[in-house]
Amino acid sequence: MISVKSAGEIAIMREGGRILAQVLEELMGGVRPGMSTLELDKSAEEKIRKAGAKPAFLHYQGFPNTLCASLNNEVVHAIPSDKKILKEGDILSLDLGLMYKGYYSDIARTVPVGKISKEATRLVEVTKKALQLGTAKARPGATLGDIGYEIQRFVESEGFSVVRELCGHGIGKELHEEPQVLNFGERKIGLVLKEGMVLSIEPMVTAGEWNVKLAKDGQTYLTRDGSLAAHFEDTVAITAQGPEVLTRLK
């Protein structure tokens, strides 16, 4: 069943989304060569709890940490480690969620570690733009296919690939709710969006083929061909005025 939120529920999610966006902004500002991904994880948990919220990912389906910190060819859900040290030229996808007053928010950004290659820069920029284009389609009367089509069309026109085996989702009282939000599709196909729905829209884009594989840790997804991957995500409310990004600072 697909949950439709009231104005009051969306107001709570807006508060939580702002907290989450602020935490991620601070984490991104601290990314530098020589630090471990575990340092970022510890900082994320501390900041979320200090703000009066709870980490969403900690112990969720066996995930042992607060932050997903995916490096280079890791697409999503990489476990932070003190052995994973950031190097100049890496790209790092930070995926973070929290629960605030009983409601979840989810966000992701891919950031450069120092100076990165032109290909990596373009991959990050294309993925960021794909999220913006997909989000713009999240309006009452549109379909999930409209969102997926817009993301896929743009990404593939830039010579990159959209991951097919992973997707976005509904969000609210549960971290993952119906519906699934695919990053590919056809216009005017699929669920018709209604005011009050809240979605996590999250294009995952690769520089090579779209196929992924699960690592031995049972959590991390990697590109099958070893190519770079980027990931951007926002929590978005469907309103009468159009899409409202809840995971933003203002």
- Tens of pLDDT, residue by residue over 65-113, are 999 999 999 999 999 999 999 999 999 999 999 999 999 999 999 999 9
pLDDT at 69: 98
Rounded to whole angstroms, how far apart are CA atoms 196 and 225? 39
Determine, yes or no, domain membership for 246: no
How would residue 166 be classed by pLDDT, with cut points 50, 70 and 90? very high
Number of structural domains found in the chain: 1
* Mean of pLDDT values over 199-206: 98
How would residue 250 be classed by pLDDT, with cut points 50, 70 and 90? confident
Enclosing domain of residue 32? 7-241
Determine, yes or no, domain membership for 1: no
pLDDT at 206: 98
- Tens of pLDDT, residue by residue over 38-72, are 999 999 999 999 999 999 999 999 999 999 999 99
- Tens of pLDDT, residue by residue over 111-159, are 999 999 999 999 999 999 999 999 999 999 999 999 999 999 999 999 9
- Tens of pLDDT, residue by residue over 169-193, are 999 999 999 999 999 999 999 999 9
The reply to whether 77 sits in an annotated binding site is yes
Determine, yes or no, domain membership for 11: yes
The chain-wide mean pLDDT, for the chain, equals 98
Determine, yes or no, domain membership for 249: no
Determine, yes or no, domain membership for 119: yes
215: domain CATH number? 3.90.230.10
Sign of dihedral through CA atoms 149, 227, 30, 40?
positive
Determine, yes or no, domain membership for 248: no
The reply to whether 59 sits in an annotated binding site is no
pLDDT at 46: 98
Measured in residues, the chain has a length of 250
The reply to whether 95 sits in an annotated binding site is yes
Determine, yes or no, domain membership for 247: no
pLDDT exceeds 80 at position 161: yes
Percent of the chain beyond pLDDT 70? 100
Helices (H), the chain: 7-29, 37-50, 118-136, 144-157
Sign of dihedral through CA atoms 67, 70, 76, 80?
negative
From the number of C-beta atoms within 10 Å of its C-beta (0-12, 13-18, 19+), residue 133 rates as middle
How would residue 1 be classed by pLDDT, with cut points 50, 70 and 90? confident
From the number of C-beta atoms within 10 Å of its C-beta (0-12, 13-18, 19+), residue 103 rates as buried
Rounded to whole angstroms, how far apart are CA atoms 32 and 238? 36
From the number of C-beta atoms within 10 Å of its C-beta (0-12, 13-18, 19+), residue 62 rates as exposed
> Which residue is associated with the tokens 């817009």?
150
* Mean of pLDDT values over 208-212: 98
